[in-house]
Structure formats: C-alpha cells, structure tokens
Structure 1
Amino acid sequence: MYDHILDVIKQTEIDYDIKILYACESGSRAWGFPSKDSDYDVRFIYIHRKDWYLSIDQERDVIEIPMRDKVSIPVDDLMDMSGWELTKALKLFRKFNPPLLEWLHSNIVYYESFSTAEQMRNFGEKIFSPTSCLYHYLNMAKGNFREYLQGDAVRIKKYFYVLRPVLAARWIKKYQSIPPIDFHELFEDAALPLDLHEEITTLLKRKIAGEELNAEPRIDVINSFLQNEIEELEAYAKNLDYESVDPTEQLNDLFRSTLEEVWG
C-alpha cells in the first residue's frame, strides 16, 4: 500500500500541476489502533505554480481523492486522500489548528520534500497555544460524548472518539505542549486507575481485532471517567488566558520562500 500511496502522490502532482510538500497518515493508523479494514487516511500539503497565486479569482484550495477529485490511475478503495493548498494550511496554522499540528507530527510519513514541513514543525513549537488547542480537544470530546455515548448501547469505536481528545487535553494541561498523536502514549501517560485501564485496554484490543462496529451495553466506568474529565477540563479552561501571538509576517515569509525553493 505504501508504494501505491506514493504512486498516487506522484500522479496527483502531474495531473494537477502542483508540488506536494508533505503527506502523512492522519487516522486510526496514525493513532495506533487500526482495525483490519481501516482506511488509509492520507493528508497532504501542496503548492501551486507562482501564476496560480497571481489570479484575481480565488481558486479551490483543497484536493480530495477520490471523493471529489480524480487522478489518471486507479485508486485503492481503502485510500482516502485529502490535501490543503499551502496558503490555506498556513492560515489554519496561524490559528494553531490541532488537526494540522497532528499531521505535521504524524508518526507515519509517506512523503516529504523541500524544507516547508520541517520549518512549520519548528515554528509550531515556538508559537504553540495551549489554550487554543486545549479548547479544540475539549469541544471535540464534549460533542462526541453527547452524540455517541448517551444511549444504552454504544459502538466500540465511538469510545475512542471521546477518549483520545480527553487524553490529549489532559496532556496539554499537564505539559503545556503539543500532545503526541499516538493513543498508546497518551493512554499510558494518563496513569488511570487499574479497573479503568483494564476496561480501555480490552476495548482497544477488540477494536484492533475488528469488533469496532459492535453495539454493546454502555460501559459505565468509562462514561463516568469521561464525564468527570470533561467537567474538570472545562473548569480548568475557564481560568486560562488566551495568548495573543500574530505570526502572520513569519508565515508570509515562509510561503514566499517556499515558492522560490520549489519553483525557483
């Protein structure tokens, strides 16, 4: 599959006359708990030629293969590939967008060319906003908790839609740093009570074994933990100050230098 992903990356560059700067895995495979039929969620950042940026009309700034866009070679059914144009990515980076930060720190990198991604990683460490990122994960946890874990029966995979953002928010509260993308690292660092640790470990094994779609009676010890954590994180977040950092000029410089590095 790795070779196929590289083939699609290269064909995307040819078909859309772009350069892909960085491509990684962003889904359950990067989080460390793929099931046997998990998709390959490939995410990438790309740049157009200089003339594209000199048009008076705003062009589309995403590529989604095969959902909305096509390439001239067959694409595996398990592959979901989506990319952001560089200025879109940098605008989101300016807002400390956590999904983008996760992309840049993914432990499965399919492709990286030129210096842009590494510069963004280094810059992100300097301007990282604990407050903004903690709120992102907290709001994700709250929304998923309300949507997926309130019924009498719950699908196994849905627990991780809440567990992962809760543990990521806990990491930010504890370390004031970008949380790791790997779930196991977040999970072990949390040092949870033994009964809770065992319940989650069992769920994790069953998800990896392919039981993720099974709906079963709600696990109250996990629900209680998540509800208490969300309430504590909300109380903690209310006392945080928003950091005011405007890295626009540095990001403008990064964009311009990337144009020169890629296209000359």
Structure 2
Amino acid sequence: MEQLIKDKILEVEKRFHVKVLFAIDAGSRAWGFPSQDSDYDVRFIYIHQPDWYLSIDQQGVGTKQNVIELPIDEMLDMSGWEITKALRLFRKSNPSLLEWLRSSIVYYEKYSFIEDLKRLEPMVFKPSTCLYHYMNIAESNYHEHLQGPIVKAKKYFYALRAALACEWIEKYKTAPPVEFKMLLEDILPDGELKDEIEQLQKRKMEGDELDTESRNTIIDEYLESELERIEAYSKRGKAPAGDPTPALNALFRSTLMEVYPSS
C-alpha cells in the first residue's frame, strides 16, 4: 500500500501540475488503534507553479480550487490542501493541520517546508481553539454514539483520544501528540480505568471497523466527569500574542523559490 500511495502522489503532481511537499496518514493508523480492515487516510500539502499565484483570480475561486481530492475506494482516502490554504489554517491554529505535523506515518516529504513550519508553531498555537475542537469531538462521540447498550468500539477511542488531548493541552499548553498510546501513558495513572482502555484497544485492533461492544461503565464515568471538567476549563484559554502573518508570508515565498528555483 505504501508504494501505491507514493505512486498516487506522483500521479497528483503530474495531473495537477503541482509539487507535493509532504504526505502523511491522518487516521486511526497514525493514532495507533487501527482495526484489521481500517483504510488509509492520506493527507498532503502541495504547491502550484509560480504563474498560478500571479494572476487576478484568487485561490479557491472558480477554477483555482485549493483542495485536491482523489476518488475514495475501500482502502484509500486521499486529499490535500494547497500551501496558502494550509498556511491560513495554520495561522488559526487548525487542530487537524497540527496533527498532520505530528503524524508518525510519513509517506512523502520533500523540501524544507515542513521543518520550517514546525518552528513557527509557537507563534500560532491557540489552546482555546484546540480545546474546543477536541472537546466537541469527545462530546459528540459520547453523546451521539455511546449511549445505547451496544456501541461501536471505535467510538470509545474517538471520544477517549479527544478527552485525553484536552488534558494534554491543559497540562502542557502545547498541541497534543497524535498517538493514542502516548496520550494514555502520559495522562492516565495505572489502574482500573487504564486497564479497561488497554483491553478494549486490544480487542479493537484484533477485530474490524464494525466490531461492537457492550457499554463500559468505567470508561463512561471517566468521560462524563472529564467532559464536564474540560468544558469549564476551556473558557480560560489564551491566544498567543502577535501576528504570525509576515513569517508565514515569508515561508510561502521561500518555499516557492526553493521548489521552483528557475522561475
């Protein structure tokens, strides 16, 4: 599959006349709890040739779309953001993009863009933005998918990962790691709750995406109490001072010159 993904990246570059800067997995494989039949969620950032930017039409308008999406099949979901779209989202401390930067599964990386982007993260990281993002994920999965007597195991992990990510942000004031295991080991002490989660994780990884479980009272109690506490804490987040736009503009221009030095 990894070779197929790399072939698809080359196909994207040729078909759309762009250069891919990096591509990662952004789904359950990167999170560390895939099922046996989990698909591959590939996300990438790309850059057009200079002439694409030197025109009167704005990116994202008309034929100048700033997203590339390949047809989804049973095993591969692949889409990417154009660099200026990615940088604008980065400026807003977009949690999904921050996760892309932390994915442990990197299918492709070229040029200095990603390392330069990572160095700018302290200028843009907003704890409140990320807290609301993960809190909403935890709440929606818990209240919408984990209330019946029988539930999908993966919904527990979506809710748990998001709740633990909130606790990480509260503890460290930084974007959380992608891997569920890192969050679990750092945030939860050894004990009954952690044991229950680890056993559930083992069963999920040995099964398939549609595997179901009876509701787990121990995990439910943790989620209910944490969601209430996190909601109160989330109102205290502070945004970073200063405007990162000049630095992001400079990064865009330097990347454009690095990728297309003769233009």
Q: Is this a same-fold pair by TM over 0.5?
A: yes
Residues 96-111 of structure 1: matches in 2 within 5 Å? 96-111=93-108
**1:44 aligned partner, one-letter code:** F
Alpha-carbon contact 1:206-1:212 (below 8 Å) kept: no
- Which of the residues 197, 217, 228 maps onto 1:231? 228
1:245 offset after TM fit, Å? 3.7
Deviation (angstroms), 1:175: 1.1
Contact 2:90 2:124 in 1 (8 A): no
Quote the offset at 1:77 in angstroms. 4.2
* Partner AA of 2:140 in structure 1: G
Q: Which residue of 1 aligns with 2:70?
A: 65
**Secondary structure, counterpart of 2:178 in structure 1:** coil
**2:218 maps to what in 1?**
221
Structure 2 equivalent of residue 70 of structure 1:
none
- Report the alpha carbon displacement of residue 241 of structure 1 after superposing the two structures with TM: 3.2
Aligned to 2:79: 82
2:138 corresponding residue in structure 1: 141
Distance (Å, rounded) in 1 between the aligned partners of 2:247 and 2:257: 15
The 1-side partners of 2:176 and 2:242 are apart by 20
1:86–1:210 Cα change, 3 Å = same
Q: Deviations over 1:73-95 (max 9, x none)?
A: xxx74111110000110010000
8 Å CA contact 1:116, 1:254 repeated in 2: yes
Rounded to whole Å, the distance in 2 between the matches of 1:55 and 1:40 is 36
Q: CA separation in 1, counterparts of 2:172 and 2:220?
A: 25
1:157 aligns with 2:154: yes
> CA shift at 1:206, angstroms?
0.8
State the match for 2:56 in structure 1: 56
The residue aligned with 1:39 is 39
Equivalent residue, structure 2, for 1:121: 118
3-state SS of 1:83 partner:
strand
Q: Which residue of the partner structure matches residue 261 of structure 1?
A: 258
Which amino acid in structure 2 is aligned with residue 169 of structure 1?
Answer: C
- After superposition, the CA RMSD in angstroms is 1.5
Aligned to 2:25: 25
Q: Is the 8 A contact 2:125 2:240 kept in 1?
A: no
Q: CA shift at 1:212, angstroms? A: 4.2
Q: Residue 13 of structure 1 corresponds to which residue in structure 2?
A: 13
1:252 alignment counterpart: 249
Structure 2 letter corresponding to 1:64: E
Number of residue pairs the alignment of both structures matches: 256
1:72 aligns to what?
A: none
Contact between 2:125 and 2:239, CA under 8 Å: does it hold in 1? no
Deviations 1:99-118 (A, max 9, x none): 10110111111111111111
1:16-58 alpha-carbon deviations (Å, 9 max, x no partner): 1000001011111101111111111111000011111123332
What are the Cα deviations for residues 108-158 of structure 1, in whole angstroms up to 9, with x where unaligned? Answer: 111111111111111113432222212221122112222111222211111
Check the 8 A contact 2:93/2:129 in 1, yes or no: yes
Q: CA deviation at 1:159?
A: 0.4
Structure 1 length-normalised TM: 0.92
| Shift, 1:168, TM fit | 0.6
Cα separation, 2, equivalents of 1:9 and 1:241: 38
Amino acid of the structure 2 residue aligned with 1:170: E
Structure 2 unaligned residues grouped into runs of 5+ = none
Q: Following the alignment from structure 2 to structure 1, what is the Cα–Cα distance between the partners of residues 32 and 177?
A: 11
**TM-score, normalised to structure 2's length?**
0.92
Query: Match of 1:19, SS?
Result: strand
Distance (whole Å) between structure 2 residues aligned to residue 114 and residue 56 of structure 1: 28
Partner SS state of residue 207, structure 2: helix
Judge conservation of contact 1:156–1:211 (CA < 8 Å) in 2. no
